[in-house]
Homo-oligomer: A and B are copies of this chain.
Amino acid sequence: MSTKKAAYTYEYPHPSVTVDMVIFTVRERRLELLLIERGGEPFKGSWALPGGFVRMDEDLSDAAVRELQEETGITVRYLRQVGAFGRPGRDPRERVISVAFGAIIPSTGLTLAAGTDAANVRWWPFDPLPPLAFDHGEIVKAAHDHIVDQLSRSLIAFQFLPAEFTLTELQQVHEAIQGGELDKRNFRKWIASLDTVEPTGRKRGGEQHRPAELYRLSKAAARLSRTESGRT
């Protein structure tokens, strides 16, 4: 126990509240997860979700965005609460209630930078993952269930991609996450019926086959997906 300036006193004991971020990306058609190597005890040297304490004056989702930036150097777009995890004993030091957020980011143009609390940051293939610290395995499972569920109901897969993308890339994201093959024609029919992407008119050339049309999120859909983002 630290004895230096114990400035905050309460009549009853208070838990700590943290946020943990489950960040998915797709690289080379594989689903991957962003993990940090813990620099301090407990679980020093183990891999864990990026996360940290919620400040007294910030919203939960703001804390998630900030912690992620601090610990990994990444700024995030899509963000969704997965749930609160608070089993007593999940942190061996003290009672900690963690609010988990899931996020999805494009695999391109990222620079990872391990922050102060982390010895290391890197992408891990989702399957198999290394053993995770605390109850982070459980949290990851819940977040993955969320994504698979949403993926089959709405078009969130473009969150994994840069602003302009081809339909084949979009399809590969779906295949990476659900772990299966999809029929190209049926997939495109489904995309069209959702009315969430539109062609840009540009093409991706330079490869030794027919160039693919580039698409972007349509304006109507962009407005919607902003609303969906942060639940407090």
- Which residues of A are interface residues toward B (Cβ below 8 A)? 2, 4-17, 53-54, 56-60, 81, 83-88, 95, 97, 99, 138, 142, 231-232
Contacts and interface: CB of A to CB of B under 8 A. Distances in A.
Contacts of A232: 84-87, 138
Contacts of A138: 232
B10 A88 contact: no
Contact of A6 (B2, B11, B88): B11
Contact of A54 (B9, B53, B86, B231): B86
Contacts of A13: 8, 56
A95 to B, nearest CB: 5
Contact of A56 (B4, B7, B15, B60): B15
A3 B56 CA distance: 22
A56 B47 CA distance: 27
Given A86-B99, A232-B87, A8 B14 contact: yes
A9 to B, nearest CB: 4
Contacts of A53: 12
Contact of A86 (B9, B14, B60): B60
